[in-house]
Amino acid sequence: MKTTLDPIRMPIPTDGAPKAAGEEAAGVSLARKLGAELIGTFMLTLVAAGAPVIATAANASASAAAGAAAVGLVLMAMIYSIGPISGSHINPAVTLGFALRGAFHWSRVVPYWVAQTVGAVLAALLLFAVFGNVAHLGANLPAPSAGPVAAFIMEAALTTLFVLVILGTAEEAGSVGPNAAIAVGGTLALCGMFGGAVSGASLNPARSIGPALLAGTWPDLWIYIVGPLLGAAIAVGLDALIHGSRKPTYGQAEGR
């Protein structure tokens, strides 16, 4: 069936019949999805970890609010650009949330996680090549005044909020796509402004693993792996309580 483009550039059949949710993404190969996830996580980590690195290397002052806003904006940009291809998870916790909800194939969870982690490692490698091991390459560390337990609780709680917003907007938009970009990017920025002083507000195991691998900040890495994954699981439970029984489709988590 031939297709044309409607005024917002969405493919529609020429006979006017609507396309099924996820039909367009069904033709996207897994390799392209993984490539999109790698690129998206690379960009997110480059900005999130690069902000403190660049500020330290340039001996410049940068507010925590500005760094949090930058991370939210780059996530928003990635949702617009790669959302239709892979769903723009670019975060293992988000991938887990969609899988637990039943909107993402479990067989693709590990490949997505690998692509996301590789993207984060490549971003850390670029920062290391350009600036050296400055500011621990932007690795996430709990605030000394807060300690690991408080940082763990903050990561889990903020990820719960973050993934809950993603699941809610994905139900409305049919994917983590353009209609969700403002809500999801804004929520990530909000979490950074609110909890960054305690844990760094990573909310993303891949973003934390990349810099930690090169900077050697291993002792507290568990906080940034277990905390977000736990938060994602809690968010799925809360989503079920709030919205009741839903029948999500795989297309919701894998692009339009």
Residue 199 contacts by C-beta under 8 Å, 6 or more apart in sequence?
Answer: 140, 142, 143, 146, 150, 151, 152, 154, 155, 158, 223, 224, 227
What pLDDT, in 10s, does the model give residues 49-60?
A: 999 999 999 888
Helix axes 92-101, 205-215, angle to 10 degrees: 150
Residue 178: per-residue pLDDT: 61
Q: Binning pLDDT at 50, 70 and 90, where does residue 256 land?
A: low
Residue 176: per-residue pLDDT: 55
**pLDDT above 50 for 172:** no
What pLDDT, in 10s, does the model give residues 66-94?
A: 999 999 999 999 999 998 899 999 999 99
Average per-residue pLDDT in the chain?
86
**pLDDT above 50 for 15:** no
Q: Between 243 and 187, where is the model more confident?
A: 187
For the chain, the domains span 29-252
Q: What is the CATH number of domain 29-252?
A: 1.20.1080.10
For residues 194 and 213, what is the distance between their CA atoms, to the nearest angstrom? 26
Percent of the chain with pLDDT over 90: 73
What pLDDT, in 10s, does the model give residues 104-128?
A: 999 999 999 999 999 999 999 999 9
Residue 26: per-residue pLDDT: 55
Backbone dihedral region for residue 57 (phi beyond 0: left; psi -120 to 50: alpha; all else: beta): alpha
**pLDDT above 70 for 34:** yes
Mean pLDDT computed over 162-183: 74
pTM value is: 0.86
What pLDDT, in 10s, does the model give residues 97-107?
A: 999 998 899 99
Radius of gyration of the chain (CA): 18
Which of 89, 65, 222 has its CA nearest to residue 155? 222
For residues 164 and 89, what is the distance between their CA atoms, to the nearest angstrom? 13
